[in-house]
Amino acid sequence: MHRVLLLPGDHIGPEIMAEARKVIDVLVAEFGFSVECETAHLGGCGVDAEGAPLPESTLRLAKASDAMLLGAVGGPEWDGIERELRPERGLLGIRAAMGLFANLRPAILFPELAAASSLRPEVVSDLNILIVRELTGGIYFGSPRGVEQRADGVREGFNTLRYDENEIRRIGEVAFAAAQRRGGQVCSVDKANVLESSELWREVMTDLASNYPDVTLSHMYVDNAAMQLVRAPKQFDVMVTGNLFGDILSDCAAMLTGSIGMLPSASLDEQGRGLYEPVHGSAPDISGQGVANPLATLLSLAMMLRHSLDEAALADHVEQAVRSVLQQGLRTADIAPQGTSAVGTRAMGDAVVEALRARAA
């Protein structure tokens, strides 16, 4: 029996999680999936209900689970509160507390969505990139940080970008191992022309490459990488980078696939236990309208089945069911061509459930 912790979060988080729940239920009913799901607070809902963005009760359940599925956290209603209570602190906190250092963000274009990309179909067709983002270090976690008033009375905000060689090596190993199973290429993205932490990053990646003779390593500065991602994205196989650069580049890569509502991710610890989450945030601008695209969450569920629960066959079923609803022409508003009608969150989830039932029959 697998133990899965569901963390719906804020705004569209609960809306897309409801669809994941329906998919889990059909996997149980029709495919013999054996799972026990618990639900807990993370983010703004944790602040409101339990006084903390990462309540202790949530962390306890997280530690007792085999895998976690997150909706998204955050929203303008928590913008004014003390920084340590912000919803995003809950997400950073659970990543750190659970040692989830390896964030895998595959950007794969479903052929049916070539027209939904903001780039020409020939630029993105057959796109299959894996962004490997370091997730528990770098500037999101470096100390010191804060906002202080200097002696001259002027306020100063500061953060610290630090990486030690062990952190760089372990994320590099994840990227090289992934490349061995894919196209055999790693592009390490840094800013070594300016940042000392990137100089070390590049040196460690270069040393590591000698352990992987079957993988070709290249280096690219992050500003160029952002440009190349929209110029000629198919040149990339695996991209490995730090926390901040990976956050930004993966949102950029999301648009290549048609919408940020399509991009799943896995955040893994050293044993392969993980938290699975769509790349997007809580989309407060569309929450409560029932229009959010649930597919990134359902594809994250598929990643969970494959990477943490050893249920590759079920993962294939979910991914194929998503593919088949796209083939049927169903589109939420974010991936619908202009002037065509779109379905809502629930209808998209229902269609995936139906496609799964058809596969079970």
Ligand X SMILES: NC(=O)C1=CN([C@@H]2O[C@H](COP(=O)(O)OP(=O)(O)OC[C@H]3O[C@@H](n4cnc5c(N)ncnc54)[C@H](O)[C@@H]3O)[C@@H](O)[C@H]2O)C=CC1
Ligand Y SMILES: CC(C)CC(=O)C(=O)O
**Contact positions toward ligand Y, by CB under 6 A?**
88, 91-92, 247, 279
Q: Is 247 a catalytic residue?
A: yes
Using CB under 6 A as the binding rule, whether residue 88 contacts ligand X is answered as: yes
Tell whether residue 84 is among the known ligand binding residues.
Answer: yes
Q: Which residue matches tokens 């598929």?
A: 302
Residue 343's nearest CA partner among 272, 292, 277 is 292
Q: Is 223 a catalytic residue?
A: yes
Using CB under 6 A as the binding rule, whether residue 284 contacts ligand X is answered as: yes
Q: Is 63 a catalytic residue?
A: no
Q: Which residues, numbered 292-351, are part of the site for ligand X (CB under 6 A)?
A: 292-293, 296, 334
Tell whether residue 8 is among the known ligand binding residues.
Answer: no
Q: How far is the CB of 192 from Mg ion (least distance, A)?
A: 23
Cα 206 → chain centroid: 26
The DSSP secondary structure of 83-94, one letter per residue, reads GGGSHHHHHHHH
Q: How far is the CB of 273 from Mg ion (least distance, A)?
A: 22
By DSSP bridging, strand 238-241 and strand 128-134 are parallel
Binding ligand X (rule: CB under 6 A), the pick from 6, 23, 104, 286 is 286
314 binds, among ligand X, ligand Y, Mg ion, none (CB under 5 to 8 A by kind): none
Q: Which helix (H) or strand (E) holds 201?
A: helix 196-209
Q: Is 140 a catalytic residue?
A: yes
Q: Decide: 245 and 193 in contact? Cβ < 8 Å.
A: no
Tell whether residue 150 is among the known ligand binding residues.
Answer: no
Q: Which helix (H) or strand (E) holds 225?
A: helix 222-231
Q: Would you tell me the crossing angle of helices 12-31 and 295-307 to the nearest 10 degrees?
A: 50
Q: Which residues, numbered 59-78, are part of the site for ligand X (CB under 6 A)?
A: 72-75
Tell whether residue 181 is among the known ligand binding residues.
Answer: no
Using CB under 5 A as the binding rule, whether residue 277 contacts Mg ion is answered as: no
Q: List the structure tokens of 102.
A: 């390896």
Site for ligand X, rule CB under 6 A = 12, 72-75, 88, 91, 260-261, 277, 280-286, 292-293, 296, 334
